[in-house]
Amino acid sequence: MRPPRAAALLAAALVLAGCAATRSPASDAPASGPSSTAAAPTAVASSPAAAPASPGGAPAAIPAPGEGSVPVPAGGPRAVDAGSVPVRLQVPAAGIDVPLIDLGVAGDGTLEVPADYQQVGWFDGGPPPGDVGPAVVAGHVDSKSGPAPFFRLRDLAAGDEVRITRADGAVVVFHVDGVEQYAKDAFPTATVYGPVPGPALRLLTCGGSFDRSSGHYRDNVVVYAS
Amino acid sequence: MEPISDPRGLRRTARPASLAAAVLTAVLLVLLTATGARAATVPGDAWVRAGHLVPGLQAMDVTATPAGGGTTVDLALGAGYGDVAPYQRLAPGAYTAEVRPAGAARTSAPVLSSTFTAEAGKAYTLAGLGSLQAPRLATLQDDLTPPPAGQVRVRVLPAASAAPAVTVTARNGPVIADGAAFGQPTAYASVPAGQWVLETAAAGLPAATATVDLAAGGVYTLVVVDAGGALGVRAVTDAAGAAAMPVGGAQTGGGGTATATSVTGTRPEFAPVVAGAALLLLAAALVRRRVHGRTA
């Protein structure tokens, strides 16, 4: 009987198809530690004199000793009030209740991810949750040995509630609009980080198959909420 | 490509198999191309707002009603000339927009009306534009394309009856709109982010200045209005985004729970591929069975 051969052929075709859309990322994750300075409020307009360079969107290379001397990008750092910085994330439907750290951009230009697999962080180069625009929160799906806080992120469905507590105590409630999965080499940067007319949230983690040679997953899972 | 019914194939069972493989490959390629070309969209609602930019027209209410019936949404209540109401979220779909004097019964005939289709994740401004004698309700799609790093995107809505055309310049910076005609929205221009003094000039009128803070990654509309015989400028935020966007995806996993193939099963966009492949496999098996049956 031939069907087994046909099945093998099919399987091979699918595997090829799956691999064709991926890349082998050069960098090793997690690459750099969390940035610790973004909580410092910087107001572009109101306090120009009191604004030492804050790495809002332009973080240091991997070792952090020289953070204060990092040049500020054109246009200056985003003005974020200290009270707006998110400190806690709760997603009951995915069993998530974690404190939040701040994340910037890694030395290679990619999103900085938590050095500790069990930590979850907010991208401080974008709007804080509750402000107009897309707040981005990233966490690991797993560590090298087991599940991480965003392990069940992919199970979320439209309508599920996401709560974020800010430093000023305000709780911002979002509802999931949808869950999408993208190959990392086809990551929709503009869709995830680009301008949004109202408060929005994106939760990022990994998904798809794991590339043992690079030590990374091939896909990202993005939860859109607003 | 030979048809499956080619008699020669009946004696050479290898041929249907290779044919099936070829068809399979072709279909897979087509499906992959189709799914790969699909642009990423933001799921969820559309963002819609209304603005009153008709000089001399009284305060207005603006409503949107789903074309297929449903609850009417108030996009603006008592909006005066120069007002742009906040965005509201509407389920994607077709709507009828209607403009009535503030407080007028919803059953009364609208002053202006139009239809528009709102798509998920996109943004629209329903703008009353033009003169009091010839007002119109325009549907503007607000561009959510990210500006280059450190920049903003700005457009101008010239709505001052005193100025047939206006020029808006950022002091010590770029020209944002040059000779923009009354009632005609300009395209978005990229401008370095930061605090700017905007100078708005029109023939025969004193220049107006306005100081605006434009945050990197944002999208803005500058509304030019009549202001006591001179020009006034209002900066309206269309959208906000990241000041500088990280490159590519995020490395958010160590692989500790990864199976041999996948932690999440079939990638959603490949679902049709798998379904199609399964059908083809079934078809190939059936063809083979028929071929075997005839040659036996």
Q: What is the pLDDT of residues B132-145, one digit of tens each?
A: 999 999 999 999 99
Q: Which domain holds residue B111?
A: 45-142
Of A30, A180, A197, the CB nearest to B142: A197
Q: Give the global pTM.
A: 0.73
Is B27 contained in some domain? no
d(C-alpha B186, C-alpha B191), whole Å: 14
Considering the domain boundaries, does residue B82 fall inside one? yes
**Which strands sit side by side in the sheet containing B88-90, from one edge to the other?**
B88-90, B46-52, B123-130, B135-142
CB contact under 8 A, A208 and B251: no
Residue A19 lies in a domain: no
Q: Which of B:118-157 have CB within 8 Å of A?
A: 121, 123, 142, 144-147, 149-153
CATH number at residue A180: 2.40.260.10
C-alpha angle A123-B42-A18 in degrees, rounded to nearest 5: 90
Task: Point out the residue among A17, A73, A186 whose CB comes nearest to the CB of B244.
Answer: A73
Residue B65: inside a domain: yes
Of A53-67, A144-158, A194-208, B179-193, least confident by mean pLDDT is A53-67
> Bridge partners of B165?
B181
Looking at beta carbons, which pairs linking B32-38 to residues 24 or more positions away fall under 8 Å? B32/A17, B32/A20, B32/A21, B32/B273, B35/B269, B35/B270, B35/B272, B35/B273, B36/A21, B36/A186, B36/B269, B38/B269
Mutation pick from A216, A218, A223 vs chain B, by most beta carbons of B within 10 Å, is A216
**Residue A69 included in any domain:** no
| Domain limits for position A150 | 80-226
Q: Which of A32-36, A105-109, B145-149, B249-253 has the lowest mean pLDDT?
A: A32-36
Look at residue B259 in the predicted model and tell me its pLDDT. 75
User: Are the Cβ atoms of A136 and B277 closer than 8 angstroms?
Assistant: no
Whose CA is closest to B242, among B152, B135, B118, B129? Answer: B152
Q: pLDDT class for B75, splitting at 50, 70, 90?
A: very high
Q: Evaluate whether residue A175 is within a structural domain.
A: yes
Choose, out of A156, A196, A220, the residue to mutate when testing the contact with B (most B CBs < 10 Å).
A196
For B115-166, what is each residue's pLDDT tens digit?
Answer: 999 999 999 999 999 999 999 999 999 999 999 999 999 999 999 999 999 9
d(CA B160, CA B165): 9
Q: Could you tell me if residue A12 is inside a domain?
A: no
In a domain, B213, yes or no: no
The predicted structure's pLDDT at residue B91: 96
What is the C-alpha to C-alpha distance for residues B116 and B98, in angstroms, rounded to an integer?
Answer: 11
- Say if CB A120 and CB A187 are below 8 A apart: no
Within a 10 A sphere around the Cβ of B88, how many other Cβ atoms? 18
Q: How far is B219 from chain A (nearest CA, A)?
A: 7
Give the gap in angstroms from C-alpha A169 to the nearest C-alpha of chain B. 23
Q: Is residue B255 part of a domain?
A: no
What's the number of domains chain B is made of?
1
Strands B189-192 and A216-225: unpaired
CATH number of the domain bearing residue B88: 2.60.40.1120
Cβ contact B71:B215 at 8 Å: no
Percent of chain B whose predicted confidence (pLDDT) is above 90: 71
Considering only CB atoms, B42 lies closest to which of A105, A191, A212, namely A191
- Name the pLDDT band for B296 (thresholds 50, 70, 90): very low
Judged by CB atoms closer than 8 Å, whether chains meet at B258 and A44 is answered as: no
B127 within domain boundaries? yes
- Pick the closest to residue B61 from B76, B47, B73, B51 (CA basis): B76
* Structure-model confidence comparison of residues B125 and A79, the more confident one: B125
The alpha carbon of B290 is separated from its chain's Cα centroid by a whole number of angstroms, namely: 51
The pLDDT, as a whole number, for residue B41 is 85
Which residue of B252, B273, B292 is the best one to mutate when testing the A interface, meaning the one whose CB has the most A CBs within 10 A? B252
